[in-house]
Amino acid sequence: MIDIEELLEHHGIKPTANRIVVARTLAGALRPLSLAELERKLLTIDKSGIFRTLTLFREQHLVHVIEGGSEGVKYELCHSHDEQYDEDQHPHFVCERCQQTFCLDTQPVPQVLLPPGFQAHSANLIIKGLCPDCCRE
């Protein structure tokens, strides 16, 4: 069980009630969630409050932002131990049928050799196809 308040403080984030609720919801999710999904789960916080919280979490390396799905960006709690750098990067799989996004957190993001002069800050690898449930249909 994650101590959410301790995690927030570790990332330099003051643990307000809304921030604790958003972080706890992300921690309990089995997959990355979109802003719309968070809105449906968090009826006591308005969309702008959720978005501001996610923006702060992103700035402090507390969430991964996954781009490339049909529902726009999705968010997942980062398990990095560094508040300045996201050491928990991994690929994601987007099912083209059910549109769910899955973490492939046991797989590393492949190393890409950049040309001289380029400096990478993050990587976002999305693999698209059919999830096991949709393959059975």
How far apart CA 94 and CA 58 sit, in angstroms, is 21
User: What global pTM score does this model have?
Assistant: 0.76
Given a contact cutoff of 8 angstroms between Cβ atoms, the answer to whether 78 and 85 are in contact is no
pLDDT tens digits for range 81-112: 555 555 567 788 888 898 888 888 788 888 88
How far apart CA 78 and CA 17 sit, in angstroms, is 20
pLDDT of residue 103: 82
Strands (E), the chain: 33-34, 63-69, 72-77, 92-95, 101-103, 126-129
pLDDT tens digits for range 41-61: 999 999 999 999 999 999 888
How far apart CA 23 and CA 38 sit, in angstroms, is 11
Q: Report residue 1 as tokens.
A: 């069980």
